[in-house]
A and B are shown apart, each in its own frame.
Chain A
């Protein structure tokens, strides 16, 4: 505020005598452009509008075919919301098990091992892989492994697999907007004016009057 603005000049001066080392910008060099993105890690500075998955999806078509049947048994279509496969849950699971994080690497083994396990189990029981069984045969198998607390000891691996698959399917399914209305999530829309608060009906149901 005390001195007039002088003509613009680069302060990229040679540090030379003043100070320490480092490679220096040559005199007269074109000034560099600043970074628009950092590139060390794709998730360090993601492009939200063009999401990329920087890892491979490891599962092959036959595994995805088995998972398609399984996720639809877990979350089938009804009047209000689609079948899990209709929003491509198997593809999501493939993305999930390919991720490099510790949790995903563990799930990779559980899910791929589990798909093989259930096909072997189906083959031993009925001479066919799981997806080719009649639905009643499929659910009969699931009924033996769906609750880890009740599954027979020799089916423990299958139970652990199903438990993991069920939770991943629930997470992937209900984090997709196609399922939200049926679930009861009605947000992510702008509201003008003050926040409306809790509807009177719920105030009465929960006895929240006067709070």
Chain B
């Protein structure tokens, strides 16, 4: 069994998974390792990071020196295929009356957004599972940190995470033997740490899904799959074949040596080796098929190559299509039994949509001018960060919940904008003198990006647009958005903090008001909440295992099920939830309950 290039699949599977990213990839791998016959249906094309990743390609080999454009927002070499903020032929819109325009990022490729993400992998903390109990806002999870902690351990062991243990409030450490060592900080990161100390702002090693050393595959696999010799063999061998980071090239391009986590480099290869996983690519699911008794029987999809309809059947259906696409499939799966969309007895599908609060600032730091050159590429992303540090003073801040700060600076691979600072710092200079100025200022800039928790509110949601279909004939989504004061005030706090740090480093920064400084909703690409888990069918869509209350053999496994969207980036938590859900599903299947 394999990637079905011949488009021929089995007559019927145990499980269909829609989507191949973090949730779908992890579910697919764990089920396949346990002998379940799985069909994975991916809307995008097949994608092989080992063959396709442009690891060392330089800007001069790309159009416009690789600069980001509206076609390739994160630059020419970003690992996004067939999409971005716009997917050709697959529109979305804004609902009349919305205050903000929502941006919806979608790739169309095997592995989905796991090919491009920042690999920041922070565990949600104890408080993050019970936010409503703490401050009365949003929703509590039906589980607590201790329920998920063992699955964070497993997900981290499987994926490979670098980081450190710091013992900070609501910033869980991993047990010994799980994390790999964090890479040493770069000069700019250490300098930020030095000045942040004076402001009582902590700077500690970040956790990222990048291998800082080779994996001992057999030892890890033995811990992960103690009673499953074939899983130990397959996963153990595959882990040992992943290379450690060689401290070059940015992670956003993907990783041909498999040092960082992508579903396509870490989850799908061992899953395929079991022989229990089939994958159909270029297949766009439009709805979940149901029988007269309210059980899911499979999915109806459009084969994008022939533009024909097709059906795939299974005993169990799992939607891992991403937060908004999963909601779209549910809302489009209307029937006499489910007139408001599938699994939507609570009316919550599409509601409670959140994204991280994002705001950023850059600044010039004189001390970083004219430093002797050394290789600062590092792990293709940050080595340090600032976890939220204001729990004790939260009540005085004018907003609930926190944010973390991602930071960086130094001499990365030069691109079109790397010397933009010379417009201000060296106006009028040309000739040999300009080359001197370029050397002096290159890398003498630091940047800060805040990623904060948004609280779900009734004005932020997606729904089916009654008047529009995409090129596959599938009704599209439209979005409605309004920030609350919590997000706006939080962004103001971010701006003030960044300016304070930059000014303490000898730079000159002016903070903007939060409303102006906020990134677009959807722009941080951390959407969550459109089919949230809860403790009862009245107020939520799924239980804590992602099983829908209304349809027993229908599961959701992506960030749509998250009742809150803490500042700690979603992917690691989706991976942990998927593991917990797979254990539950396997057990239910064994017992014949599903």
Q: Point out residues on A near B: beta carbons under 8 Å.
A: 1-2, 5-6, 8-13, 15, 18-25, 31-38, 40-41, 43-46, 48-49, 51-53, 73-76, 78, 81, 87, 92, 95-96, 99, 101, 104, 139, 142, 146-150, 163, 166-167, 170-172, 174-177, 179-180, 182-192, 194-199, 201-203, 205-208, 211
Contact = CB atoms under 8 A, between A and B. Distances in A.
A11 B6 CA distance: 12
Interface stretch (B134-142, B400-408, B412-420, B483-491): B412-420
A184 B438 CA distance: 10
Given A11-B310, A187-B375, A150 B187 contact: no
A86 to B, nearest CB: 13
B422 A170 contact: yes
Contact of A12 (B7, B281, B414, B442): B7
A176 B282 contact: no
Given A11-B11, A18-B311, A174 B438 contact: yes
B431 A11 contact: no
B508 interface: no
A13 B66 contact: no
A180 B191 CA distance: 24
Given A31-B7, A41-B71, A163-B423, A175 B418 contact: yes
A171 B81 contact: no
30 contacts: A5-B10, A8-B10, A11-B9, A12-B303, A19-B300, A23-B308, A24-B309, A25-B303, A31-B6, A43-B63, A44-B81, A44-B84, A74-B431, A74-B434, A75-B430, A87-B60, A167-B419, A174-B414, A175-B60, A183-B442, A184-B373, A184-B442, A187-B375, A187-B411, A188-B413, A194-B184, A195-B379, A197-B183, A198-B187, A202-B372
A73 B443 contact: no
Nearest to A9: B11
Interface stretch (B246-254, B386-394, B510-518): B246-254
B291 to A, nearest CB: 11
Contacts of B295: none
A180 B245 CA distance: 23
Given A23-B308, A32-B303, A175 B428 contact: no
A1 B375 contact: no
A149 B193 CA distance: 37
B397 interface: no
Interface string B159-194: 000000000000000000000010111110011011
A38 B108 contact: yes
B37 interface: yes
A188 B7 contact: no
A94 to B, nearest CB: 12
B185 A174 contact: no
A12 B7 CA distance: 8
B414 A76 contact: no
B150 interface: no
Contacts, number: 295
A167 B422 CA distance: 8
Given A9-B8, A22-B308, A195-B212, A34 B282 contact: yes
Contacts of A191: 246-248, 375
Contact of A38 (B34, B45, B377, B420): B45
A198 B419 contact: no
B413 A19 contact: no
B5 A34 contact: yes
Contact of B312 (A11, A38, A146, A167): A11
Contacts of A190: 246-248
Nearest to A36: B45
Contacts of B248: 187-191
Interface stretch (B50-58, B217-225, B346-354, B459-467): B50-58
B427 interface: yes
Contacts of A15: 300, 309-311
Given A32-B303, A142-B430, A183-B439, A195 B413 contact: no
B89 A40 contact: yes
B473 A22 contact: yes
A81 B432 CA distance: 11
B418 A171 contact: yes
A208 B194 contact: yes
Contacts of A192: 246
Interface in B39-63: 45-46, 52, 54, 56-63
B36 to A, nearest CB: 5
Nearest to B415: A175
Contacts of A38: 45, 81-82, 88, 108
Interface-centre pick from B58, B371, B428 (highest chain A CB count, 10 A): B428
Nearest to B281: A34
A90 to B, nearest CB: 14
Contacts of B34: 1
Given A76-B431, A195-B212, A19 B311 contact: yes
B70 interface: yes
A1 B589 contact: yes
Given A188-B56, A208-B187, A174 B419 contact: yes
Contacts of A176: 58-60
Contact of A183 (B11, B12, B302, B438): B438
B497 to A, nearest CB: 20
A186 B416 contact: no
B35 interface: yes
B407 to A, nearest CB: 14
B14 A194 contact: no
B82 A199 contact: no
Given A22-B309, A44-B82, 9 more contacts: A10-B9, A11-B312, A19-B309, A22-B473, A35-B281, A78-B435, A185-B413, A187-B412, A195-B379
A189 to B, nearest CB: 6
Contacts of A198: 184-187, 190, 374
Contacts of A81: 435
Contacts of B423: 163, 167
B69 interface: yes
B58 A188 contact: yes
Given A148-B427, A176-B60, A185-B414, A101 B69 contact: yes
B153 interface: no
A150 B428 contact: yes
Interface-centre pick from B36, B374, B378, B414 (highest chain A CB count, 10 A): B414
B70 A33 contact: no
A95 B67 CA distance: 13
